[in-house]
Amino acid sequence: MDINRHDTWMWSRRTLLQTTVAGLAMMGSRALSVADVFAGGLPEGRLTFFNVWTDERLHVTYRNDAGHYDLDALDDVNQILRCHYTGEVASMDVRVLEHVNLVQKKLGGSREIHIISGYRSPEYNALLVRSGRRAAKRSLHMQGQAIDLRIPGIHPKVVRRAALELRYGGVGYYPRSKFVHLDSGPFRTW
C-alpha cells in the first residue's frame, strides 16, 4: 500500500520536473534559450545550503551535466528548505533552484547559501501576515516557488543586482533584514 502511494508521488514529481524543464525551455529570451536548456547551457547544478533555523547543511548536486535532475537530491533539498515552523516538507520548484544557482554562479562562486525561508506552510504564512511581517497572503513560498537567502561575504545589494541583471523570476530586497528574495514567478522587483 505504501509503495503504491510512493510510486504515485514519484510519478507526480517526475511529471512536475518534466513540465518545469519544458517551461524553462519555453522562456526563450527571458533568461535561457531552448538550446541552452537542452545543450547543457545551464551552469553546474550544484549548491550548498545552510538553514539558519535548523543549523543543517546540505552540499548537493541536484542536476547532472546532461541536464537530468536527481530525484533523491531534490528530496534532500526539499527537506532542508522545509517550513521551519511546522516541519512540513513540500516539493520545491526546480525553477527557483535554477534561479538561485544562476545568481550564485553569476557572482562567481560556490559559496554557502544561507536559507532564511524556503517553503512556508499556509499556517506559518498566515501567522507572518497577521503579525505584520511583510509576507504576502498568497506567497509563492507556499507553493515552493520562493527562497529568501543571504550569501555570507556578499552584500545583499550585490546579490540583488546580480539577480536583476538575469531578469529571471521575482527579486525582492529586504535591507533591514539583510536578505534577498528569489522566486520562479514572472520577472518583477521590489
pLDDT tens for each residue of 54-105: 999 999 999 998 999 999 999 999 999 999 999 999 999 999 999 999 999 9
Rounded-to-integer distance, Cα 119 and Cα 147, Å: 7
Using the predicted structure, report yes or no on whether residue 140 has a pLDDT greater than 50. yes
In order of their start, the domains of the chain are 42-189 (3.30.1380.10)
Q: Tell whether the model's pLDDT for residue 150 goes beyond 50.
A: yes
Q: How many CA atoms lie within 13 A of 160 on its CB side?
A: 15
How far apart are the two ends of the chain, measured CA to CA in Å? 47
Residues 6+ away with beta carbon under 8 Å from 41: 32, 33, 35
SS (H, E, C) 33-50: CHHHHHCCCCCCEEEEEE
pLDDT of 15 reads: 41
What pLDDT, in 10s, does the model give residues 99-112? 999 999 999 878 99
In the chain, the amino acid numbered 135 is A
Residue 146 pLDDT more than 90?
yes
Residue 126 identity (one-letter amino acid): A
Torsion of CA 81, 124, 182, 180, to 10 degrees: -100
Give the sheet arrangement for strand 179-183, strand by strand.
56-63, 45-51, 113-117, 146-150, 179-183, 170-174, 188-189
Summarize pLDDT for 1-52 with one digit per residue, the tens.
333 333 333 434 544 444 444 444 434 334 443 334 333 478 899 999 999 9
Q: How many CB atoms lie within 10 A of CB 84?
A: 20
Position 9 scores a pLDDT of 37
